[in-house]
Amino acid sequence: MKHKTPKKFSLNDPRNIALNVVLEALKPGRDLQMVLDRNLDPEMDPRDRSLATELAYGYLRYKGRLDFVLNCFLKSPARLSGGARALMGLAAYEIFFLERIPDYAAVSRAVALARKKFGARMSSLVNAVLRKCCRVDASDPDFFSQDNPGEVLFLSRFYSCPEWMVKLWQKDYGSDKARVYLKQSLQKPAAGVRLAPGADTGSLDEHYVVQRIGPSVHLRDNYPDLEDLERKKKVVRQSFSGQKVLWELGLGQWKSPVWDMCAGRGGKTMLMSSQGLQIWASDTHRPRLAGLKKELQGQVQVLIFAAQGQRPPLKKAPGTVLVDAPCTGLGVLSRRPDTKWKRSARDVPELSRIQKELLASAADILPRKGEIIYVTCTLTRQENQEQVKDFLKKHKDFKCLQTYGTGADEHLGEFFFGARLKRS
């Protein structure tokens, strides 16, 4: 590779935006997509918006693999600042995975950004390390087993996942299935949309439609003019896997009113509302509820209020309670890759405790024949199968009508678990 003189660097460059995004998204309490939305100027060139998005998501998916490569070429990896490491990691992702951008261009832009952010000395180090990266095949498993690591450490490096998660999945599912989940966590999730109320089902090009369930649609990648359909309010982007779990658990058969106990941004609320169900949507996060009110545009069948699921201020019993429980989120790492770098093994029992409280609260308020729909987006048995087993052990008047878990053979890239529990 011939050396190129670094060009002058603009702080509006998508690489600089991606750097700012990943550094903020790695902080506790931050959400990658929300941070990205705040940093992307609507007036940006669509190609720059796309590159910044690809870099931020791609880097966080492959951060573990990229860190190992960088460490091979750093004398004192632990002394490198978080910002400089992220800058090099973003450039390494560009080199390894973005074929349309020449290596020399990726190196040149990273060196220019390093000089702007960290000074000439760091830019020289960035140049030296990235030039060595250009000679690495980051898709070759042998590179990551050069020092004969054990299986867990190798899988952690190659599949870019903390060791504690690898061990947990091996314990819960065995080595072979754990590898499947690790591999799919690195893939982009299936594109999903929900048809907006009143939208013509013919609004979508059928050539790009993989699967439909009611208004929920799984699309092929690179659907043309999808943003235009969003602007015209014909579709709303929403995880297809997250919608499908509700259909699999009998959406359409549930008794109204349905209390959406942890409504969040309200994607599931709006899907249920589209089926004519009367919904009570609550959450502890008031800004999210404000956003949901705006999205619903005054639909009378949805009552929105702030409340803790453990302390429901309800004067009337619902027919169904949707417990879309807070969880470790290990089933949606393809869509929320920042999650795996902020979670720890300690989060599993803590969130399991909260889930138990929410399920108990739902049981306390349900009448006879009422149902609980329990949903998570994680892959830990403690939060899924064992949680349901424990609930049924403590609540003898409930029975499990069905359970569902996204199958690896569905190739959706996201994994949800759900159970339908009915009081006798």
| Domain 1-138 -> CATH class | mainly alpha
375: Cβ contacts below 8 Å, ≥ 6 apart = 245, 246, 249, 268, 322, 323, 324, 325, 416, 417, 418
Using a pLDDT cut of 70, give the percent of the chain over it: 96
> Is this model's pTM higher than 0.85 or not?
yes
Structural domain 240-423, CATH architecture = 3-Layer(aba) Sandwich (3.40)
Domain map (residue ranges) of the chain: 1-138, 240-423
Q: Please give the radius of gyration of the chain, using alpha carbons only, rounded to the nearest integer.
A: 23
- Tens digits of residue pLDDT in 323-362: 999 999 999 999 999 999 999 999 999 999 999 999 999 9
Q: What pLDDT, on the 0 to 100 scale, is given for residue 43?
A: 86
- Report the DSSP beta bridge partners of residue 372: 321, 421
Q: Provide mean pLDDT across the span 117-143.
A: 96
Tell me the C-alpha distance between 423 and 401, whole Å: 10
* Fold match between domain 1-138 and domain 240-423: no
pLDDT reading at 300 higher than 70: no
| pLDDT for 225 | 83
Tens digits of per-residue pLDDT, 252-298? 899 999 999 999 989 999 999 989 899 999 999 888 888 888 888 76
Lowest mean pLDDT among 1-5, 38-42, 45-49, 221-225: 1-5
β-pairing, 320-324 with 371-376? parallel
Query: Residues 44-101: pLDDT tens digits?
Result: 898 999 999 999 999 999 999 999 999 999 999 999 999 999 999 999 999 999 999 9
